[in-house]
Amino acid sequence: MGKLVGARWVRRAVLGTILVVLLLIGGTAARVWQVARTDDRAPADVIVVLGAAQYDGTPSPIFQARLKHARELYEEGVAKVIVTTGGNRTGDRYTEASAGADWLVRSGVPATSTLVVGEGGDTLSSLRAVGTAVRQRGWHTAVLVSDPWHSLRARTMADDVGLDAWASPVHSGPIVQTRLTQFMYIYRETGALIFYLATKTPADDIGGTGLG
């Protein structure tokens, strides 16, 4: 009888653990989806464009979509300064931040309205550098521009580095073109966010995704 009771307890414990894990994953995924659909354009001190790939000074299509959105926010008067972020890889002549700022200037944004923060190889380290740079100038609030599914994790990280931040996601470009792409990114970002909340470190090693 004792062994039977013990086996039942183990089964219940296992099932309970599985249920908790599923609820955690499902709840996090729902929150990622919810924040991705929220476009908060409240006025802020700065607009922060999170970096993406650049090719010898030319922003990738994903990066260009973010930059176009940031320019739109700037033209609407959301903030007077656009901060571009992201470092470079070995051998690159440009950082993501400098390539982004150059693109904005060529697109009509005054150079005096851009701030280049070319440090960081992932979202967390980039936002840490941004936090330092904007606080040095007496700024504290930021609108984050990134892909929809990345917005919740970026906002969470920004809060953790001392920025009062909200998100205005990009709803155009390669990442939001198909249902399959959207599902894939929600799945990946859910795992990356749970990893970050548990460890307070970026998730660039999760399954080789390079999430940052």
Position 95: which residue type?
T
| pLDDT at residue 104 in the model | 98
Assigned CATH topology for domain 36-208? Rossmann fold (3.40.50)
In tens digits, the chain (212 residues) has pLDDT values of 555 555 666 666 666 667 666 666 777 788 888 888 889 999 999 999 999 989 989 999 999 999 999 999 999 999 999 999 999 877 788 999 999 999 999 999 999 999 999 998 899 999 999 999 999 999 999 999 999 989 999 999 999 999 999 999 998 877 666 777 778 888 899 999 999 989 988 876 443 334 45
pTM for this structure?
Answer: 0.85
- Residue boundaries of the structural domains of the chain: 36-208
Cβ atoms of 103 and 84 closer than 8 Å: no
